[in-house]
Amino acid sequence: MSGKINVILGYHDHLPAGTKDDEFEEIYSSRLKPFVTMLNSNPGVPAALHLSGPLLERLKQKKPEFFLLIGDLVTRKQIELLGGGFYEPLLPLLPLADKIGQIELLTTYIRRHFGKKPQGCYLPFGAWEQSLAGVLSSCGMTYTFLGEDQFRASGIEGEELYSPWITEDQGKLVTVFPVLGSIAGGTVDSSGSGLVTIFPRFSGDNAETAICRFFEKLANNEEKSEMSLPGKFLKTAGPLKRAYFASSADSGFMSQIDDGRKLSCLQPRRFLMSYSEANNLYSKMYFTHTLINQLRGDKTRKKIAREELWKAQGADAFCRTADKDIACSMVRKHAYRALLSAERITRENRNFVPSLLTFDFDLDGKTEYLFQDKNVNCYVKAEGASVFELDYLPKGWNYLDTFSPHRSFRRHAFMDRILDPEVSPQTLEALAFGTGNAGRFCGRELYEASVDRQHGRVSFRLPPDGGVPFGHIEIEKSCQLEKNIVVFSYTLSNRDKTEADFCFASQFDLSFADPEHFSVYPGSAAPGAPALPKNGASAAGLNAVEVSDTKNNSVLGFSSEQPFDLYLFQINCRDGVSETYQSSCFLPLFRLNLGPGKSWSTVFRLSISLAKSSQKKTSDSPAG
């Protein structure tokens, strides 16, 4: 090859929906403003710029002068704005209608505010499935970008990486530019002609300095490179070769796997298998999508519900990265709030009848059970006979939305444990954090299930098993929903011929906004009553616990017909940036002694309601 090499400079930035203002200011001041300011100061440097919908909206609201500056750069044809999904979704995960809707929403926004329709689009993490070629083409996108590793995985090597390729689905074509991560620092070492596409990443405390140095490197390369925009380059490009790309994502979409290996070109659905939290959100997304499709006769309500659904589809809520990700409580909670808002909209203008649904909700090939009433959804699995989602619809809050970095340990409610009679607080703490392995953990065992639709009840049975610790203890439990109260009835029986001495715990994890926004009280939260410590607390001989959730102005009550000792632990987890609060683990412990053939029973009630002050405000509000 000979002559100058063409360089396409791309830039991407994103703000997860629901991000706080201080985090927006950090993104704006450390990365986005310095980069665009440098573009403005270097009119000979064009760039393909992708900003997600939530970031554009916040810029328009908080930084109108900067928003206008971007428009000026578009007008003088120095910037080519890229389209894509408005809320930064992983497009392969979405239903077809949502793929198209998300792309059209961002296209409309860019055209309305900047006067120009985007020609190409950006795919978060390069998340790709071949069917996207047809979708992008149908939405008016003529080109997109995939990572260097993704091209290599398709057999494209060497000089072939210095050219875009076309790809096809069902007769519809789209051009794909290879993004060369190996030279993303800004130095172009090729001595020949062709094309190099780079999307440099800037992060950390020194991002602004790195941006300045990057533009200096571009200036040093002026003699051997020529800057271009992707749309302009394609107008003069000759015939392109065709390629097909495997389901994959770029090298930025990396996860630390349990065995310590790091994989590039991950399949974009991998996180659905790696993290149950991602799969639960994915399943909830499809469930909500189905509810919206069932709406008839009210196009406006259907449109509003669908836009709420789209807010929950951001990539951050489904995968782990070096920045905000699925482990970030704020990201997940915003997603659930949007999903529950959409679900609430589907229930409006009709009399909602409490119901018990049986279907494979989480797509694992097994039946789950959904209890619904006007205000509460309770999702139960036969594995562990435990609750894995507990929604309070008036506040759009899933109280079981938490995260566990241990893939084999899921944080549900009413997960049963049978332990040694002298179990120590230290052992209980290890169990709460998912690092202990004492006694018998029934949360991963499959209970036999039977459904009583007449009474809206599902009964579960864990038969004796001589091959596990405490296997002679049989557990029978049933679940039903009674006006905002989840009721679990338990019977434990000793099927051995000798006396059984053991501890029984039914663990549940509740997730709040942060430790500052809830308090736990033994009994009831009477005025002036002392609250329990939120981490490492223990209290003996309780029949009830009450939690005041000031963020949602709600009260959660937990009671048992039999007295218990309560242990309470705060669960934190690193979210890619810092160690943050995830949930609070409640361990009600019962010390039992059962003779041969004898049984013990109790009934648990977990209730959710508005705080009295909120109830009064609601009742005092004028109708309509």
pLDDT tens-digit series, residues 269-285? 888 888 889 999 999 99
Return the sign of the alpha-carbon dihedral for residues 150, 224, 42, 25.
Answer: positive
Q: Quick one: 396 and 483 in the same domain? A: yes
Please provide the average confidence, as pLDDT, over all residues in the chain: 90
**Average pLDDT of span 501-513:** 96
**Average pLDDT of span 408-427:** 91
- Name the most confidently modeled range: 213-222, 325-334, 468-477: 468-477
The token duo for 47 is: 């760039």
Q: Quick one: 185 and 42 in the same domain? A: yes
The total number of structural domains that make up the chain: 3
Query: Is 224 a member of any domain?
Result: yes
Q: Quick one: 328 and 363 in the same domain? A: no
Picking from 400, 396, 397, the residue whose alpha carbon sits closest to that of residue 381 is: 400
Of 262 and 610, more confident: 610
In this predicted structure, the answer to whether residue 618 has a pLDDT above a threshold of 50 is no
In this predicted structure, the answer to whether residue 130 has a pLDDT above a threshold of 90 is yes
In this predicted structure, the answer to whether residue 624 has a pLDDT above a threshold of 50 is no
Query: Is 84 a member of any domain?
Result: yes
Residue that terminates a domain, selected from 351, 379, 395 = 351
Q: Quick one: 356 and 398 in the same domain? A: yes
Of 449 and 186, more confident: 449
| SS3 letters across 30-92 | HHHHHHHHHHHHCCCCCEEEEECHHHHHHHHHHCHHHHHHHHHHHHCCCEEECECCCCCECHH
Predicted TM-score of the model (pTM): 0.92
Rg of the Cα trace of the chain? Answer: 28
**Average pLDDT of span 49-65:** 97
Q: Which amino acid is at 305?
A: A
Per-residue model confidence as pLDDT tens digits over 321-353: 666 678 889 999 999 999 999 999 999 877 888
Query: Is 567 a member of any domain?
Result: yes
Q: Measure the CA angle with vertex 352, ends 348 and 356; round to 5°.
A: 135
Query: Is 243 a member of any domain?
Result: no
Q: Quick one: 286 and 392 in the same domain? A: no
Other beta carbons less than 10 A from residue 6's beta carbon: 21
Q: Quick one: 419 and 555 in the same domain? A: yes
Q: Quick one: 226 and 328 in the same domain? A: no
The strand ranges marked E within 395-553 are: 397-398, 413-419, 440-441, 448-452, 457-462, 473-481, 485-494, 500-510, 518-522, 537-549
Of 384 and 187, more confident: 384
CA distances from 550 to 34, 302, 400, 610, 619 (A): 39, 32, 17, 10, 19
The token duo for 359 is: 């279907």
Domain holding 537, by residue range, is 352-614
In this predicted structure, the answer to whether residue 188 has a pLDDT above a threshold of 60 is no
Q: Quick one: 320 and 370 in the same domain? A: no
Per-residue model confidence as pLDDT tens digits over 562-603: 999 999 999 998 776 678 899 999 999 999 999 999 999 999
The token duo for 467 is: 């091959």
Q: What residues have CB less than 8 Å from 3, skipping those under 6 apart?
A: 192, 193
Burial of 173 from C-beta contacts in 10 A (0-12 / 13-18 / 19+): middle
Residue that terminates a domain, selected from 323, 351, 379 = 351
SS3 507: strand
Please state the φ and ψ torsions of residue 248, each to the nearest 5 degrees: -165, 175
Q: What residues have CB less than 8 Å from 139, skipping those under 6 apart?
A: 83, 100, 103, 104, 107, 121
**Percent of residues, the chain, with pLDDT higher than 70:** 91
The strand ranges marked E within 258-367 are: 355-359
Q: Quick one: 438 and 479 in the same domain? A: yes
Query: Is 471 a member of any domain?
Result: yes
pLDDT at 622: 41
**Average pLDDT of span 390-397:** 97
How far from chain centre, in Å, is Cα 522? Answer: 33
In this predicted structure, the answer to whether residue 183 has a pLDDT above a threshold of 80 is no
In this predicted structure, the answer to whether residue 375 has a pLDDT above a threshold of 70 is yes
Per-residue model confidence as pLDDT tens digits over 62-83: 999 999 999 999 999 999 999 9
Q: Quick one: 338 and 227 in the same domain? A: no
In this predicted structure, the answer to whether residue 259 has a pLDDT above a threshold of 70 is no
The strand ranges marked E within 208-354 are: 225-228
Kind and range of the H or E run holding 346: helix 329-347
Confidence of residue 157 (pLDDT cuts 50, 70, 90): very high
**Percent of residues, the chain, with pLDDT higher than 90:** 74
**Average pLDDT of span 514-531:** 84
**Average pLDDT of span 503-528:** 89
Query: Is 623 a member of any domain?
Result: no
In this predicted structure, the answer to whether residue 533 has a pLDDT above a threshold of 90 is yes
